[in-house]
C-alpha cells in the first residue's frame, strides 16, 4: 500500500525515542490543509502514534489501538499484534487505507493493513510519501552526527523530506517519549 500526502518519522537514538510528522493534507494534487495534527498521545503519553493515509481511517484505527492497549494493560507490542490481526481479518477494517507508527519508551513499530507489525532493525521507522527521504536523512544523521538527540534528528530529517517531497510541508509536530 503506497500512502501519499504526509511524512511520519520515528527515531530511537542515544536512549530516547521521538516521533514527528508534517501537517499537510492533500486532496488529489491540491493542498487542503497545512496544519493537520498527525501525532497522537495514548496511555497518558506513554505511547505516541503517527499516521499516514486517510484521516478518518486512521482515527478508526487509533481508537481500536487504544482499546487494545487498554485490554492488554498498556503492552504496546501485544496491542499492535492484536490490532494487526483484526485489521487483516475484519471485513470493515480491511478496507481502511492508513498506516501507523506506534512507539513507547522502548520500541518503535510500523503497522499496516496487510497484517504487518514491523520493528525496524536500525531504530528508524518512516511512513508516507516522504518516508524514504526522511528515513535516509535520519540514517545519515544517526551515523554521522551521533551527538544529536532523537528529537533533533526527527526535526532535521522531516525538514529535508519537506524540501524534497511535494506532499510534505514544514509544519511539524514532534513528540519525544520520556
Residue ranges and CATH numbers for the domains of the chain are 7-177 (3.60.20.10)
What whole-number percentage of the chain has pLDDT above 90?
67
pLDDT at 92: 66
76 and 65 in contact (C-beta within 8 Å)? no
pLDDT at 74: 95
- Model confidence at 33: pLDDT above 90: no
Residue-wise pLDDT tens digits, 166-178: 999 999 999 999 7
pLDDT at 3: 44
Is 114 an annotated catalytic residue? Answer: no
- Model confidence at 18: pLDDT above 80: yes
pLDDT at 56: 79
What whole-number percentage of the chain has pLDDT above 70?
94
List the catalytic residue out of 6, 26, 49, 168: 6
> Which position has the grid cell 478496507?
95
Q: What is the mean pLDDT of residues 10-39?
A: 91
13 and 142 in contact (C-beta within 8 Å)? yes
Higher pLDDT, 145 or 11: 11
Whole-prediction pTM value?
0.92
Sheet of strand 7-13, all strands in order from the earlier edge strand to the far edge: 124-128, 7-13, 16-21, 173-177
- Model confidence at 59: pLDDT above 90: no
Which helix (H) or strand (E) segment holds residue 51: the answer is strand 47-53
Query: What is the Cα–Cα distance from 78 to 70, expressed in whole angstroms?
Result: 11
Amino acid at each position: 500500500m503506497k500512502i501519499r500526502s504526509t511524512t511520519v518519522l520515528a527515531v530511537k537514538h542515544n536512549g530516547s525515542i521521538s516521533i514527528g510528522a508534517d501537517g499537510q493534507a492533500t486532496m488529489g494534487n491540491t493542498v487542503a490543509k497545512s496544519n493537520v495534527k498527525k501525532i497522537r498521545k495514548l496511555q497518558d503519553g506513554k505511547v505516541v502514534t503517527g499516521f499516514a493515509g486517510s484521516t478518518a481511517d486512521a482515527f478508526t484505527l487509533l481508537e481500536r489501538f487504544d482499546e487494545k492497549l487498554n485490554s492488554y494493560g498498556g503492552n504496546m507490542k501485544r496491542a499492535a499484534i492484536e490490532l494487526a490481526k483484526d485489521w487483516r481479518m475484519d471485513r470493515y477494517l480491511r478496507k481502511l487505507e492508513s498506516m501507523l507508527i506506534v512507539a513507547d519508551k522502548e520500541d518503535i513499530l510500523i503497522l499496516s493493513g496487510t497484517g504487518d507489525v514491523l520493528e525496524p532493525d536500525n531504530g528508524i521507522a518512516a511512513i508516507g510519501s516522504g518516508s524514504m527521504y526522511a528515513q535516509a536523512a535520519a540514517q545519515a544523521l544517526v551515523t554521522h552526527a551521533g551527538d544529536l538527540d532523537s528529537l533533533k534528528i526527527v526535526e532535521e530529517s522531516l525538514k529535508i523530506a519537506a524540501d524534497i517531497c511535494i506532499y510534505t510541508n514544514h509544519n511539524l509536530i514532534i513528540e519525544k517519549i520520556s
